A = this chain, B = another copy of it.
Amino acid sequence: MNITERVALQARRARQASRGLAHAGSMLKEKVLRSIADALIAEAQTQGDERADAPRSVLAANARDMERARERGMNKAFLDRLALDPKRLLEMASSLGAVAGLPDPVGETVRVWNRPNGLSIGLVRVPLGVVGIIYEARPNVTVEAAALCLKSGNACILKGGSDGLETNRALVELMSRIGLAHGLPEGFMEFIDSPDRAAVSALLQQDESVDVIIPRGGEALIRAVVAESRIPVIRQYKGICHTYVDDGADLEMATRIAVNAKVSRPATCNAMETLLVHESVAGEFLPKVARELTERGVEMRGCPRCRAHWPGMKEATDSDYATEYLDLILSVKVVSNLDEALEHIARFGTNHSEAIVTRDLDRADRFQSEVDAACVYVNASTRFTDGYQFGFGAEVGISTGKLHSRGPMGLEDLTTKKYVIRGHGQIRE
């Protein structure tokens, strides 16, 4: 059987499993998740004894992946993402526990209404069915994605980056073994055990068996998946987030927000990449914020009007404004009014998170109404765009698309709805 046939078989097995999984009780799903957490804790505690070298040990598998990655000369940041240790296993266990304790979204009756002919129409939340997840190096995604799919009653097909192949295989073996022991149907968690690029292509063609693909990783990965997939894709391309400091804004607040949005974790998609400043406050605000940012190691690139206020800045080009730096670099632009800020955001924004700092109610309303983005902030940092910060408990990802899900995605985003209609013999005239 070649890789294409193997993936097609796995997809059909997952589809078959999804039928049973949709009716797995909340208590059973919670029990499986807590058992997996316990197994990871046990694994973390046995590190160093002879079991750590057993073939199924997650840490031993990770050690082999790490060794190969070092041989291939991967850099420190990459190795750090790939590495597991007892502490990280305990973190995984803790996030499994958190997902286990969330309310089960499946079976919720969203609405029921009656029609004049006596039909009762109910709208009920059900799992999507089969979710394919394609991701890069970090092994914790394997556990989190699998847990979210299981909690929401979906079968999953996991395809991780080839560098973590042994680690991911060991994690899936552990989770799968526990699920099957609790009576979950075979195929409830499928793992594509191949570094072959053809495996991804094969998966993206299984539109008869797979309901949705969620790619997690860099923009190049996501664009490749969207271009090739016959299955709907929930995607997050990137986040070029803006903060606009309005005429008359509280400049202490604006500084605090801008510094937080840029510096607190620059490599995340909700970090600010461009600061827009109304011309009337630029003279006071720019030197103030530039001092704070420079102290924290941020390189600023600005328009000519910015540079008049802070000559140390490099010149920003359109290509800067179109770049997601994910780094301690910030584009800055002085604008003449709110319209110019809105134009700039419409041109360079990525529909992710945008903020205004203002004291003016009309302009706050207009900004929130006219900016086309998943999350639009007034007087707060864009860094809050996050499932945990929104109170969703767990995050599947953040969608910059508009269909099905938009913004931070919780368990509900892994469900769809079904109409259940009850009658007593009604026919249509």
Contact = CB atoms under 8 A, between A and B. Distances in A.
A377 B212 CA distance: 26
B119 A425 contact: no
A230 B226 CA distance: 7
B232 A230 contact: no
Interface of A: 19, 22-23, 113, 115, 119, 121, 126, 128-129, 207, 211-212, 226-227, 230, 232-234, 250, 253, 256-257, 259-261, 264, 346, 364, 368-370, 372-381, 383-385, 389-391, 401-404, 406-407, 416-429
A427 B377 contact: no
A226 B208 CA distance: 13
**Copies of this chain assembled into the complex:** 2
A376 B230 contact: no
Provide the main secondary structure of the chain A interface.
mixed
B260 A428 contact: yes
Contacts of A129: 372, 402
A195 to B, nearest CB: 27
A236 B422 CA distance: 24
A427 to B, nearest CB: 4
19 contacts: A113-B391, A115-B390, A232-B233, A256-B425, A260-B428, A364-B422, A377-B421, A378-B420, A378-B422, A378-B423, A380-B422, A380-B424, A380-B426, A383-B428, A403-B404, A404-B404, A406-B416, A407-B418, A407-B419
Given A406-B417, A419-B407, A425-B253, A384 B19 contact: no
The winner among A19, A370, A425 for most chain B CB atoms within 10 A is A425
Given A406-B417, A416-B406, A428-B384, A121 B423 contact: no
Contacts of A372: 19, 22, 126, 129
Contacts of A364: 422
Contacts of A115: 389-391
A114 to B, nearest CB: 9
A370 B23 contact: yes
A270 B424 CA distance: 19
Contacts of A420: 368, 376, 378
Nearest to A390: B121
Contacts of A380: 119, 421-427
Nearest to A20: B370
A65 B426 CA distance: 41
A209 to B, nearest CB: 12
A428 B261 CA distance: 8
A345 to B, nearest CB: 11
A73 to B, nearest CB: 35
Contact of A383 (B23, B368, B374, B427): B427
Given A119-B380, A212-B403, A230-B226, A427 B391 contact: no
Contacts of A257: 425, 427
A379 B19 contact: no
A253 to B, nearest CB: 4
A407 B422 CA distance: 16
Contact of A376 (B383, B391, B406, B421): B421
A233 B207 CA distance: 13
Nearest to A413: B403
Nearest to A119: B380
A403 B406 contact: no
A374 B23 CA distance: 17
Contacts of A232: 232-233, 401, 403
Contacts of A230: 226-227
A260 B227 CA distance: 43
Given A119-B380, A374-B419, A381-B427, A403 B211 contact: yes
Contacts of A419: 374-376, 385, 390, 406-407
